[in-house]
Amino acid sequence: MTDNTQPEALRLAIEFADCVELHAIPSINDIGDAGRELRRLHAENTALQQGYDAARLEIDSLQARVQELGAMLRENRCKRIVELEAQLEAIGAGGVEPLRPRQC
């Protein structure tokens, strides 16, 4: 940026748009500045994309882990229900309906 109010890329875009409107040739300095700014923006974009890709992989990994933990929870909950029903039967709680229909 050349100042604190406008990004360099926008300054150059306005400068080039003015040149087009006036049928003028941009200054050699503006052309050089534009090349440097494009390379800088490309490098920044690449770094941001890599950060985004890393975050996306982490999110995908965490989603898979949540699914895995959910499956483990459901399995353990089913086992615990079966254990509790067996305990109720063992202590003579005859006639007690199953705590939940068996789907395990």
Structural domain total, the chain: 1
pLDDT value, residue 82: 86
Q: Report yes or no on 95 lying in a domain.
A: no
d(CA 16, CA 18): 5
Q: Report yes or no on 99 lying in a domain.
A: no
| Burial degree of 30 (CB within 10 A; 0-12, 13-18, 19+) | middle
d(CA 25, CA 18): 10
pLDDT tens for each residue of the chain, 104 residues long:
455 688 999 999 999 999 999 999 999 999 999 999 999 999 999 999 999 999 999 999 999 999 999 999 998 988 888 888 888 877 775 555 655 666 65
Q: Report yes or no on 96 lying in a domain.
A: no
**What is the domain range of residue 62?**
8-90
Q: Report yes or no on 98 lying in a domain.
A: no
pLDDT value, residue 69: 94
